[in-house]
Chains A and B, each alone.
Chain A
Amino acid sequence: MKVLLETDNLKKYYPVRGGVFRRRIADVKAVDGVSLKIYKGECFGLVGESGCGKTTFGKTIIRLLDPTSGHIYFDVPDDVRDRIRELENSNSDSSELKRLYHQYDLATFKGKRLKELRRKMQIVYQNPSTSLNPRMMVKDIIGEPLIVQKLAKKSEVEERVLSILRKVGLGEAHLRRYPHEFSGGQRQRIAIARALITRPEFVVLDEPTSSVDVSVRAQLLKLFQSLQREMGLTYLFISHDLSVVECISDRVAVMYLGKVVELAGTRELFKRPLHPYSQALFSSIPLPDPTIKRERIILRGEVPSPVNPPPGCRFHPRCKYAMDICKKVEPMLKEVSKDHFVACHLY
C-alpha cells in the first residue's frame, strides 16, 4: 500500500506567556513527537480524551498550525522518502538533506506551494454552526474555495457547487439559502461539500458527528463511506466517540497526552487492546445491550496537565501496572504483533 501522509516526530507546542514582557514561560505540549503513516485510501481513526492533542495533530498535518518541530511528508515518492531516511541516519551530507527537506517536507512549505497543497488536503470541523459564515449563502460558502484556488471560472462555479451539493444529498433548492435555515445534519453536509469541492485527496474529519443526533449521525457516516468510495478519499477521522470510530476506520491510533500509545487495525485494537490506557478507554464505552455485564476498568484521577507531563511513561500515575521503569524511561512505540504497535514497558 502507498503511504499518502507520514509524520516524523511531529511536535506542536503552544507557548504559555507570562511576566512583564510576555515572555514564553512554559509550553503546552499538545503534540509531542508523533510518528504515523496514513495509507492511501484508508480511513485512519484517531481517538483519545479531550485535551490529548488529537485536533492539534489534525490541524498541524494540514498546516493550519505550524509545527514546532518534526517533518510531514505528503504524497512523497517512496524512493525519495528512503533517501531522506538514509541521509538522516548517516548524518553526513547535510546539503542534500536540506534540499530534500525543502522540496518535500510539508512542514517547511510556504506561500504558493502551501496554497497549492491546500487544495489537496481539507478539513471538516466539529461544529458546522460555527464553521460556516452565517452571512454567506450556501453557494458562496461552497464556491469560495474554487475562487480562492482559481480552479474554476466565475460562470462555472455555480454548476460545480450544484454537482457537489447533489453528492452530499442536498439540491438546487438549497443554493440560495443561509446556514441558519438548515438543521445540524444539513449544515454538516454543507461543510462536507465545501471541503470536497476542490477534489482533495486527504480530508481531516475533526469530530464531524459529535454535534448531531444518533439518527443523523448514521446518515452522515454512511455519506462519508460512500464519498470515500466514490472519490477515492483518504480520511483522518478524529473522534472521541469510540463506537463510531470502530465502524468507520480501518486503522486506529489511541492518543494520550500528546503521544500515540497504541496503533493497530480496528478489529484487532477493539478486540485486544494492549496498552492499559486503551483497555480502560475501551472498557468504559457503554454497550447498548443490557444483558452484557462486564468488568469495567475505572481510571482514578484526571489527565495530567500537558504543560508538565509526568516523566517516563505519561500514563504511569494512573496505571495500575506501573513499574519503576515506567517512572523513568519513556516507552517507544514498538510492534508487538503484526501491525499492532504499542508504547508500554509491559510488552
Chain B
Amino acid sequence: MDKLLEVENLKVRFYTYEGIVKAIEGINLEIRKGETLGLVGETGCGKSVTGLSMLVLVPPPGRIEDGKVILDLKGRKVNLLKQKEPFLLKIRGKEISMIFQEPNAALNPVYTVKEQIGEAIFHHRRREILNKVLKSIEEKARRKGKSLMLKIERWFYEKMLANPEALSIRIAFKIPILRRFLRRKLDEVIRNEVIAILREMEIPDPERVADMYPHELSGGMQQRVVIAMALACNPSLLIADEPTTSLDVTVQAQILDLIRRLKRKFGSSVVYITHDMGVIAEMCDRVAVMYAGYICELAEVKELFKNPLHPYTKALLESIPRPDKEFKSIRGTVPNLINPPSGCRFHPRCDYAMDICRKVPPRLVEVKKGHFVACHLYPEGGMGSESSA
C-alpha cells in the first residue's frame, strides 16, 4: 500500500527548568493511505507529541531535535520539518488536520461557530470561495439588472481573487463601514458552506448552531464543531488526539461512528491517539503501542489483541477491567523522562527483565510479517543486541 506519511527517527525534547525531558527518542512510523493507525499508551508516553510533530506544532519549550516527517503531496515527497512556516500554514488544516482532546479549549469562546469554521474554509479554499461569490454577484446582476453597487462589489472581489495582498484591499478592510459592506457577500457564501459542513456532521438545526457561541453547545456538539473544522477541507490525514475522552459513552459512540463514516466518505487516513483499548479495537487497522517515548510494539489490530508480544502490551491488555477475571495492574509508575531508565525503558516494571534489558535499548524488529516489537525477549527476527553499537 502507498505510504501517505512517514516519520523517521523522530526525536523531541522539552527543555524545562528541571532538565531536558526526552519525550520522544527516535521513533519510526508510516501511515498508509486510507488506514486508521492507533497510538496507545499511558499519559506522558509521547503519543500526543508524536501527533503534534506530524503537524510541526510541538509547543515550546519542546523542540524537534532530529528526524524526518515525510508527507506524500500527490506524488511529491516533502519533509515537513525542513519547510518554512508559510508552507506549513498551507498544509495544516488542508492536508493534515487535527481534532483536539478538549473541544472546550480548542474553540475560541468569543467567536461564533460560523466564524471559526469559516476562517478555516476561507484560509484554505480562498479561490473557490471567491469564485462562488463572483458567481452569485453575476446572478444577481442578471436578475435585477446592473447597478453601481454590484459593479463595485465585482471589481473588489475580482481584485481580491487576483491579488489578496493588494494595497487597495488592505485599506478597504481597515475602514469599518466599507469592510462591512464588502464582506456581506463573502460572509453569506461562507455561511452556506459552513452550514453544509455542519449538516454533514449530523448537527441538528445547523442554521441555528452556526450562529451560536461554543459555550451554548454541549460537549458532544462542541466536539462535532471541532471535527467539522478539521474536515472542512477534506484533509488526506486526520490526527485525532483523544477526541472522545471528555465525552460520555453514548456521545462517544456517536462521534466514533461519525469519524468512521467521514473517513470512508473522503478516503482519508486517520491517526487515532487514545489510551482506551476498547476504542482502539473498534476503530483502528494497525496499532502502535508507545511507552516512555518509544514504540514498543506495532501490529495489525487483530494480531495485537490476539497475540501481544511485548510485556508492556500484555500488561496493558490485562489491566483492562473484565468482569470474569481479576484485574492485574502494572507495578510501579511511568518513569520520569528527564532521567529515563537505562536500556529498555520498561525494565524496572517488567516481569521478564534480564541483564541485557538494563544495558541495551532494544530495537523495533519485525518478528512476524507486519508485527514489530522492541524487546530483548524476541531476538530471532532481528538483531536486537547488535543495535547497541
Which A residues lie at the B interface, using CB under 8 A? 49-50, 183, 185, 213-219, 221-222, 240, 242-244, 246-248, 266-267, 270, 280-281, 283-291, 296, 298-299, 301-302
Interface size range on B against A: 35 or more
Stretch at the interface among B7-15, B160-168, B313-321, B378-386: B313-321
Stretch at the interface among B70-78, B90-98, B322-330, B362-370: B322-330
Q: How far is the CA of A286 from the CA of B259 in the complex (A)?
A: 15
For residue B115, give the distance in angstroms from its CB to the closest CB of chain A: 23
Q: Decide: A285 and B278 in contact? CB cutoff 8 A.
A: yes
Stretch at the interface among B79-87, B120-128, B134-142, B246-254: B246-254
Q: Decide: A288 and B320 in contact? CB cutoff 8 A.
A: yes
For residue B339, give the distance in angstroms from its CB to the closest CB of chain A: 16
CB closest residue in chain A, given B44? A213
CB closest residue in chain B, given A286? B278
CB closest residue in chain B, given A244? B321
Answer whether residue B333 sits at the interface, using C-beta atoms and an 8 A cutoff: yes
Question: Known: A218-B328, A244-B321, A296-B253. Contact between A286 and B279, CB under 8 A?
Answer: yes
Q: Decide: B278 and A247 in contact? CB cutoff 8 A.
A: no
A219 in complex: contacting residue of B221, B322, B329, B334, CB < 8 Å? B329
Question: Known: A214-B42, A215-B330, A290-B281. Contact between A284 and B252, CB under 8 A?
Answer: yes
B43, B278, B327: most-surrounded residue (chain A CB, <10 A): B327
The 10 A-B pairs of least Cβ separation, nearest first, read A286-B278, A284-B253, A218-B329, A215-B330, A247-B321, A219-B329, A218-B319, A49-B248, A288-B277, A290-B281
CB closest residue in chain B, given A220? B329
Q: How far is the CA of A301 from the CA of B276 in the complex (A)?
A: 25
For residue A257, give the distance in angstroms from its CB to the closest CB of chain B: 13
For residue A227, give the distance in angstroms from its CB to the closest CB of chain B: 15
Residues 246-276 of chain B: 1 if any A CB is under 8 Å from the residue's CB, otherwise 0? 0011111110110000000000000000011
Q: How far is the CA of A283 from the CA of B278 in the complex (A)?
A: 12
Q: For residue A244, which residues in chain B have a CB less than 8 angstroms away from its CB?
A: 321
Q: Decide: A298 and B319 in contact? CB cutoff 8 A.
A: no
CB closest residue in chain B, given A50? B248
Answer whether residue B302 sits at the interface, using C-beta atoms and an 8 A cutoff: yes
Q: Decide: B305 and A215 in contact? CB cutoff 8 A.
A: no
Residues 212-256 of chain B: 1 if any A CB is under 8 Å from the residue's CB, otherwise 0? 000000111100000000000000000000000000111111101
For residue B215, give the distance in angstroms from its CB to the closest CB of chain A: 15
Q: How far is the CA of A219 from the CA of B218 in the complex (A)?
A: 33
Answer whether residue B282 sits at the interface, using C-beta atoms and an 8 A cutoff: yes
Other than A215-B316, A243-B278, give 5 A-B pairs with Cβ distance below 8 A. Answer: A247-B327, A288-B278, A290-B281, A290-B305, A299-B253
16 A-B pairs in the complex with CB atoms less than 8 angstroms apart: A49-B248, A215-B329, A218-B321, A222-B329, A240-B249, A244-B321, A247-B321, A247-B323, A284-B253, A286-B281, A286-B282, A288-B278, A288-B305, A289-B305, A291-B302, A296-B257
Q: For residue B321, which residues in chain A have a CB less than 8 angstroms away from its CB?
A: 217-218, 221, 243-244, 246-248
Q: For residue B319, which residues in chain A have a CB less than 8 angstroms away from its CB?
A: 214-215, 217-218
Q: How far is the CA of A283 from the CA of B42 in the complex (A)?
A: 25
Q: Decide: B253 and A216 in contact? CB cutoff 8 A.
A: no
Q: How far is the CA of A128 from the CA of B280 in the complex (A)?
A: 28
Q: Decide: B250 and A281 in contact? CB cutoff 8 A.
A: yes
For residue A13, give the distance in angstroms from its CB to the closest CB of chain B: 21
Q: How far is the CA of A246 from the CA of B249 in the complex (A)?
A: 15
B275 in complex: contacting residue of A213, A240, A291, A296, CB < 8 Å? A213
Question: Known: A215-B316, A216-B329, A218-B321. Contact between A286 and B250, CB under 8 A?
Answer: no
Q: How far is the CA of A217 from the CA of B250 in the complex (A)?
A: 22
A214, A244, A299, A302: most-surrounded residue (chain B CB, <10 A): A214
Q: Decide: B42 and A213 in contact? CB cutoff 8 A.
A: yes
Question: Known: A299-B254, A301-B204. Contact between A183 and B248, CB under 8 A?
Answer: no
